[in-house]
Chain A
C-alpha cells in the first residue's frame, strides 16, 4: 500500500510570508499532483510533476518533485489571503489508474 504523508497539517501565517508544504512517501510514484480543495467542493488540480527533480512554477507557487520520485514540495512566495485553503498532494501509481492522496495542509493567510 502506497502512503503519502503531508506536513504540516495546519499552517497559519501573515500575508507576505513564505511557506513550504511537504509531501513524503517511501514509495515511488509515476507522477505527483497537487490539488486545492475548497469547502464542499471537489479537489481542483494545480499542477502535475512527472520527472524526478522537476520544478514547475505557477505564479507565486513553486512545485518540486524529488529526484527519486518519492517526495514533493510546494513553496508559496509572499502568501496572500486568497491562498487560504486546503492543499492536497496525490501520487499517481505506475498504471496511472489510481491517486493516493496525502492528508492535506490547511493554510490560512491572515491579512
Chain B
C-alpha cells in the first residue's frame, strides 16, 4: 500500500541552526501539507501546497518557515533559524484532492532544538 515517508525520523539541532525536513508524498497525490505536534498538545496545521504554491498557511508558518517541492517526488519544510519552541513532531501529509479526500500522514520527524 502506498505511504507517505519522512526523513529523518529524529533530528537534534542547536538553536539558530537551519533544518530541512523531507517528505515523499504518495506518488499520484497533488496536495501536500505540513502539520506539527508539540509534545502533549494538539496537532496544528502549518501549511498546504498545491501546484507549486502555498494554498493556505497558519499563523505559525511565519517567515522562518518555507516549503518547496524541489523535484517530482520530494516535499520539504525548511526552518531557517530554529528556536527552542520549534521542538515538536512534524508530520507531512498528502491527498489526491481537497475537501473530503483523505489526507494520508507520514510517520513524522521528531525535531529537538537545544
List chain A positions with a Cβ less than 8 A from chain B. Answer: 30-31, 33, 40-45, 48, 50, 88, 90, 92-93, 95-104
Contacts and interface: CB of A to CB of B under 8 A. Distances in A.
Contact of A40 (B97, B103, B104, B107): B107
Interface stretch (B11-19, B44-52, B66-74): B44-52
A31 B106 contact: no
Contact of B105 (A43, A50, A95, A97): A43
- Contact size class for B? 20 to 34
Contact of B56 (A33, A41, A95, A104): A95
A33 to B, nearest CB: 8
Contact of B44 (A88, A101, A104): A101
A71 B61 CA distance: 27
B56 A88 contact: no
